[in-house]
Amino acid sequence: MITIIDYGLGNIHAFVNMYKRLHIPVSVASSADDLRGAKRLILPGVGAFDHAMERLNASGMRPVLDELVMLEKVPVLGICVGMQMLAKSSDEGSLPGLNWINGTVKAFSLAPGLKDLPLPHMGWNDVRPAPGIGLFKGMENDARFYFLHSFYFDCEESSSVAASAFYGQDFDCAVAHGNVMGVQFHPEKSHHYGSNLLKNFAEI
């Protein structure tokens, strides 16, 4: 069973529909009670970092999520801003993130030599998975996903980098540390690549 966290942000129905097409059981959690017994979690997100953290903190689900992810080690996949929320903090805001993976979110516009880079980074881009990452099983030499973002996750530990991409510079586009995973791109907009990744997450 995949449980999608609904705190008011993210394309919940797109993920529900994709898992239904894959014939994988899926549910939506919008309260702490809905999260009880969850076996796999998806944290979607769109928009600004602080707004997303405010919505999640106000949802009443944050304490249960911390317990499930940090203590019970339930697998979780953050997507887009949901991935950025896994970090300690973001250049985009002042609120602390979930701090489930060591790293910070940085702005492309503040990176040296990238001031004239068109933003947001939008469209399809090749993704280079690190060796042995289960999310990218079967896509080790052929991974291409749809992006829409102006900020990127910067891992403190190279061992947490699950995949990288290039936009003016190499950047971490997927992270994985134990049961905590995240992708900057949009699997729900990435056709069969996204479908394969979501299926792989269900099987981890």
- Reported residue count of the chain is 204
Q: Which of 92, 155, 173, 188 is catalytic?
A: 188
Catalytic-residue membership of 51:
no
Residue 157 falls in the annotated catalytic set = no
Catalytic-labelled residue, pool 80, 149, 155, 177: 80
What own/partner pairs with CB < 8 Å and gap ≥ 24 does 97-102 have?
97/49, 97/53, 98/65, 98/66, 100/69, 100/70, 100/76, 100/177, 100/180, 101/155, 101/160, 101/175, 101/177, 101/180, 101/182, 102/155, 102/156, 102/157, 102/160, 102/177
188 as an active site residue: the answer is yes
C-alpha–C-alpha distance, residues 170 and 136, integer Å: 18
Burial of 63 (0-12, 13-18, 19+ CB in 10 A): exposed
Catalytically annotated residue among 121, 149, 177, 186: 186
**Two tokens at 33?**
């009670």
Cα separation of 123 and 149, whole Å?
10
- CA 204 to chain CA centroid, Å, is 16
- The residues with which 29 forms a beta bridge, in sequence order, are 5
Enzyme catalytic residues: 80, 186, 188
